[in-house]
Amino acid sequence: MISYLSMVSANFKMTVRNRQSLFWLFVFPILMMTLLGIVFGGISNQGASIAVVSKEKSQVADSIYKSFKEIDSFTVEKQSEGRALKELKNGDLDAVIVMKKGFASELEQNSREFNQGEISGSEPSPPKPAKIELFFDPSSTFTSQAVRGAVTNVIAEINKKMSNTPDLIAVESQSVRSADLRYIDFLVPGIIALTLMNSALFGLGGTVVNYRERGILRRLKVTPQPLSGFIAAQITNQLVFSILRAALLIIVAQALFGVAVLGDYISLIIVVIVGSLTFITIAFSIASFSRTRETNDTLSNIVSMPMMFLGGVFFPVDSAPAWIQPLIRIMPLKYLGDAMRDVMIKGEGLTNSNVMFDMYILLGVTLVFFLISIRLWKWE
């Protein structure tokens, strides 16, 4: 136990004294986040302009129009369909919401039918929804995502109003948040996930391979101290630094860009720990194959590069082409990023089914790579 603790504190000292490792561990992620935040952070739905097209005048259409108007960050105007779609194509508009002729009466009729069904006590069939059409330009991913989110929320709100369900406040807060989603809000959880991957693969994996290459593991092996204790200390340090780095990134993002964490910190820390463990086991698996640090770095690059660009760190990948989706679906970084965003942006906790799903996937991957690294690991 003393040896484990002193190994942990020795690792800590070594990392803190090594300027290069400090740079990669802390300075580089902060620089990357800050630069991307400054360059692209302004891209958001702030000033996103949408047009509401109603083919006929009705009270419902008016109230929908008003609901959008209430969202501060949207510029909303009434337009004719033809002109609105043209402006969308030109890029002057970000989204167009169209209510067809007869929308109001259809809605009214559907709701009447449903209510009558309830009153008469006959088999209550679910209400038929009346359709709203939403046109948007998928090339401006952030705006369109935000608009889609906002539209969904506004409609949900109206639906609830119409069916008299009381929890209006919760819906409202959600819609405001989703309308406020900026690139930097999307980016910060992604960057944190990315640093968990890279620090494990290149930091921890590289260090351990280096120790093996230079005979340090062999030197430790001639002492009575079991090498498993040494590995445990390495993992401990990795976890501690991961949490510290995530905290630092969030503090800087908060100070510079006003990024807020909506979820609870316990959930966030647990997501960070699980994600870190996943990539630690992947790192040890890669390290098992690598005789030299160069091999380790090359293999790590092969593993991390696709995830870095396709794992949803810098841009959302849900709208990526279908043929690439299976590849994205096997990337652990994608699930980590999703979980981080669910907690940080959407304010979910571990009990949320999406977060739980991501966690199970990550824990499964961890178990698989744990077994692989145990099986293949070489001390010398």
Partner 1 sequence: MIEGLREPDGGNIVIDGQAVWPKPEATKRLIGVQLQSTALFDYLTVREMIILFGTFYGLRLSNSDADQLLDTVGLTEKHKAKVNELSGGQQQRLSIALSLVNDPMIIFLDEPTTGLDPQARRRMWDVIRDISSQGKTVVLTTHYMEEAEVLCGRVAVMDKGKIISLDTPLNLVKSLGAKAKITFNCEPKLDIDTLKGLPGTTDVSEIEQSYIVYSKDVQNSVLGILGEAKENNSLVENLSVSGANLEDVFLHLTGRGLRD
Q: Which residues bind partner 1 (CB under 8 A)?
A: 2-3, 6-7, 10, 13-14, 17-18, 211, 214-216, 218-225
Q: List, in order, residues 6 or more apart from 36 with CB less than 8 Å away.
A: 183, 184, 187, 191, 314
- C-beta closer to partner 1: residue 101 or 218: 218
Token pair recorded at residue 121: 């006590």
Please, are residues 273 and 48 in contact by the beta-carbon 8 Å criterion?
Answer: no
Structure-token pair, residue 288: 């098992």
Count CB atoms within 10 A of the CB of residue 373: 20
Asked if 376 and 284 touch (Cβ cutoff 8 Å), the reply is no
Nearest to partner 1 of 80, 225 (CB atom): 225
Give the integer Cα–Cα distance in Å for 358 and 364. 10
Looking at residue 176, its amino acid is V
Nearer to partner 1, 99 or 235 (CB): 235
- Least CB distance to partner 1 at residue 215 (A): 4
- In whole angstroms, how close is the CB of 150 to partner 1 at the nearest point? 51
Nearest approach in angstroms of CB 27 to partner 1 is 17
Measured from the CB atom, the residue of 2 and 169 that comes closer to partner 1 is: 2
Q: Which CB sits closer to partner 1, 212 or 334?
A: 212
C-alpha distances out from residue 252 to 15, 33, 39, 281, Å: 21, 9, 16, 29
**Residue closer to partner 1 (CB basis): 6 or 173:** 6
Q: Minimum distance from CB of 284 to partner 1 (Å)?
A: 20
**Residues 24/249, Cβ–Cβ less than 8 Å:** no
102 vs 54: CA distance, rounded Å:
10
Angle between helices 353-376 and 332-344 (to 10 degrees): 140
CB of 204 to partner 1, least distance (A): 15
Distance CA 246, CA 227 (A): 29
Complex with partner 1: residue 21 or 285, whichever CB lies closer: 21
Minimum CB distance to partner 1, residue 297 (Å):
18
d(CA 60, CA 310): 42
Instruction: Quote the Cα angle for 144-147-148, to 5°.
Output: 85
Between 14 and 371, CB nearer to partner 1: 14
Report the C-alpha gap between 199 and 243 in whole angstroms.
12
Q: How far is the CB of 373 from partner 1 (least distance, A)?
A: 22
Q: How far is the CB of 262 from partner 1 (least distance, A)?
A: 39
**End-to-end Cα separation, the chain, in angstroms:** 24
